[in-house]
Amino acid sequence: MASFLLLRSLSAHSSTRSIPPRLATTSSTSYHRSRPLYPAANLAFFGLFASSSKPTPSMAVKEIVEDAIATHKVVIFSKTYCPYCKKAKALINSYELPEGQVEIVEIDIRDDGNAIQEYLKEKTGQRTVPNIFIKQQHIGGSDDLASLNSAGQLARKLED
């Protein structure tokens, strides 16, 4: 009854257009949903398809990485804009290895680049680029390659 009087007094002092129609017809109590928006059974169903862990790289990505490592003397997983990658590529190029012995995989221009980077993290524990392999052995990054070169060990590793 009080809400009726309140609405009537409001309508007497102002136009009916100032009160939205849904407010004029509802009670002053708020509306609460009687059941949850997503019942637990539905959430459990979605859990079958969702996971909190990161997706694992596909077999195709593993094959790409493993094939490159197995068939080339030197493999550098790189990004075109990375200054450390440029430094590592320049150092390897200074050894003038025969054609086909060096494979540069520019992962920033590949559709599967993120998946390759995730697989390399699984394989080596290193997610950063450059990620360098020589004769199927993981070397590390640009600083690791430069250290090998300074110690005179890089030339020995690159020999046949």
Q: What confidence tens digit (pLDDT) does each residue in 13-71 have?
A: 544 455 555 555 544 555 555 555 555 555 555 555 544 445 566 889 999 999 999 99
Q: What is the mean pLDDT of the chain?
A: 80
Give the H/E segment covering residue 74: strand 74-78
Q: Which residues contact 52 (CB under 8 A, 6 or more apart)?
A: none
Query: What is the pTM assigned to this prediction?
Result: 0.65
In this predicted structure, the answer to whether residue 132 has a pLDDT above a threshold of 80 is yes
The share of the chain scoring above pLDDT 90, in percent, equals 62
- The residue with greater pLDDT, 132 or 19, is 132
The DSSP string of 114-160 is HHHHHHHHHHHS--SS-EEEETTEEEESHHHHHHHHHTTHHHHHH--
Domains in the chain (CATH in brackets) are 2-47 (no CATH), 59-158 (3.40.30.10)
